[in-house]
Amino acid sequence: MANVKLSIIYYSSTGTNYQMALWAKEKAEQSGAEVRLRKAKELAPEFAIEQNPAWKKHYDETQHVEEASSDDILWADALLFSAPSRFGTMPSQLKQFLDIQGGLWANGKTVNKVVSAMTSAQNPHGGQEATLLSLYTSMMHWGTIIVTPGYTDPVLFGAGGNPYGTSVTVDQNGNMQEDVEDAVKHQVARVLEVASKTLES
């Protein structure tokens, strides 16, 4: 899988999806993939961020992470998205990033990318399935190849058994309620495996 180029594109306000993205990056690099970790541009005004200490802290701590650009899609063989649920669909920050890729899309530059996604929510059934399904709907418009975990490894059962992608419940204090690190790593390994096959001539 040394030849797979993976862009991990996430949005995180208080760090959960950033952590999931980091786990994915670690595993992907261990597997020999070339990895870009990118954050979706924040849309919230500074004063809104300031009012939420956890958000402000994470916002400051991830200033060094590059913002996602069209080139991160163009360059990649595979895309892994990670973003929290906002009322059962992806947050506007990530949606905005997708929406402005009309140029790439119109020129067929999104076709055949291998795609997978992860998410989080405050309640076990608070959009952890719906958010991923909605994101894959958009990815079907892009002509991508969608690879979800299904039930391809026993590790998934311990992580809530989400066949659409790894997801985690986060409490009011931002603490993950399940240990999903291994599920994240299995998901990214699976994505790389399929992507690697699609690259072979």
> Which range in 29-37, 53-61, 69-77, 95-103 contacts a copy of itself by CB under 8 A?
95-103
Residue 29 to residue 77: CA distance in whole angstroms: 15
Binding mask 10-49 for a copy of itself (x = CB under 8 A): ---------------------------------xx---x-
- Applying CB under 8 A, among 17, 24, 126, 192 the residue interacting with a copy of itself is 126
Work out whether 148 is an interface residue with a copy of itself (CB under 8 A).
yes
Q: At what angle do helices 16-30 and 181-199 cross, to 10 degrees?
A: 50
The dihedral of CA 96, 124, 60, 64: what is its sign? negative
Work out whether 198 is an interface residue with a copy of itself (CB under 8 A).
yes
Q: How far is CA 150 from CA 10, 121, 155, 167, in A?
A: 21, 20, 11, 13
Residue 132 to residue 80: CA distance in whole angstroms: 12
> Which range in 28-36, 55-63, 70-78, 150-158 contacts a copy of itself by CB under 8 A?
150-158
Work out the burial of residue 40: count CB atoms within 10 Å of its CB; fewer than 13 is exposed, 13-18 middle, 19 or more buried.
buried
Residue number, 30 or 48, with CB nearest to a copy of itself? 48
What is the contact surface with a copy of itself in residues (CB under 8 A)? 43-44, 48, 86-93, 95-96, 98-100, 105, 108, 110-112, 122-130, 133-134, 136-138, 140-152, 157, 160-164, 167, 194, 197-198, 200
